Amino acid sequence: MKSEKERIDRINRMIIEMASGNFSYEVQRSEHDDELETLAVLLNMMAEEMRESFHHYGFVNSRGKYRHIAQITFILNQNFKIQTFSALTAEILILQPYELLGKSFPELLTEDSKKAWKDLEPALENNTFNKTVHLDFHTPDSLIVPAFCSVSLLFNPDEESKKIIITAVQTVVQSEETEAVLQKAIQNGNMDNKVRKKAGKLRVLRRESDVARIKEVYLHILTNLDEPLLSLKELAHHFGTNEFKLKYGFKELYNTTVFRFQTDERLNKASLLVQNSEMPLKTIASITGFKSFPHFSKAFKKKFGYNPSDLRRVSRKK
């Protein structure tokens, strides 16, 4: 399929950029729920972690050297058309200079960032405007360049017209491994693609904020056992993380999966109710979140080795 080939090409490009020491990009996400999407999430998360590592722990790169600290700079006119830009801007966005001159700045942004820019436009009427905003740029390769941009107004007394300056800093490193060698490795199939197997062994919870979010999910499940659980993607979005960190971070912290944890806790609660209440077994199945009694009974026996009715009978004899 063409769409699948395009996704693979984007991932290949991302791998090449990261292996050469460039963590400025992200892979554009899709609506698919498959191994390619898992790989895209993993790559984006790794790039984000590496960018943060550079800022928090210093610029350390024993196998390569920094080619430059690349600065994205645009000067826009009052209609948001690009009048000029820094030399490295076109390189970072993988565009030719002539493709940027005169272009409407919002056209370089992803759909979400276009909305953020639209919300910003009315405030640009203020002569003292200065604000930092997160914007995502898209490239022709469908990679994403996330950047915290400083947006300020300049005033040109000769032209009596407003100028807008947008700046962002990106870190680019040059590795000893060349792009040609990496591309050959990908074409020859020498790159290890067993993402799911390896992902489970990665330490993904590197910050206290990540651990805190996973604990929030844990508590949410415990206090809502009778409710259906959202999908991993929806759950991750609700708690301000991504599905990769949620999936593998939960396993790292609690040594079980999100959905296995929910099922086990439902069954533990059901076991207590079976032993210590007079509720009908069907009612217990319902209030612990099981869709039907047969499903509940089967899961109960699989976990404890006996049916809920057997446990109740034994409990009443005590």
Return all residues near 91 (Cβ < 8 A) that are at least 6 apart: 70
pLDDT at residue 217, as a whole number: 93
Under 8 Å between Cβ of 213 and 239:
yes
pLDDT in tens, 150-180: 888 876 655 567 788 898 865 544 444 444 5
pLDDT at residue 259, as a whole number: 93
Token match 């009778």: residue?
A: 226
DSSP for 69-84 reads: EEEEEEEE-TT-BEEE
pLDDT at residue 21, as a whole number: 61
Rg value, the chain, Cα: 26
pLDDT at residue 169, as a whole number: 65
Spans of the chain, pLDDT less than 70: 1-2, 17, 19-24, 50-71, 155-160, 169-204, 206, 318
Burial class (CB within 10 angstroms; exposed 0-12, middle 13-18, buried 19+) of 182? buried
pLDDT at residue 20, as a whole number: 57
Tell me the HSE value of 114 on the side-chain side, using a 13 A CA sphere.
8
DSSP letter (8 states) at residue 22: B
Helix ranges restricted to H, the chain: 2-19, 35-57, 87-92, 97-100, 111-120, 179-187, 195-199, 208-223, 232-238, 243-254, 258-276, 281-287, 293-304, 308-317
pLDDT at residue 67, as a whole number: 45
Token match 């905003």: residue?
A: 133
Tell me phi and psi for residue 24, to 5 degrees.
-80, -15
**What CA–CA distance (Å, rounded) separates 278 from 123?**
64
Alpha-carbon distance values, 167 to 76, 98, 104, 127 (Å): 11, 20, 16, 18
Domains delineated in the chain: 1-199 (3.30.450.20), 208-317 (1.10.10.60)
pLDDT at residue 156, as a whole number: 61
DSSP letter (8 states) at residue 104: B
pLDDT at residue 114, as a whole number: 92
- The answer to whether the pTM exceeds 0.85 is no
**What CA–CA distance (Å, rounded) separates 312 from 317?**
9
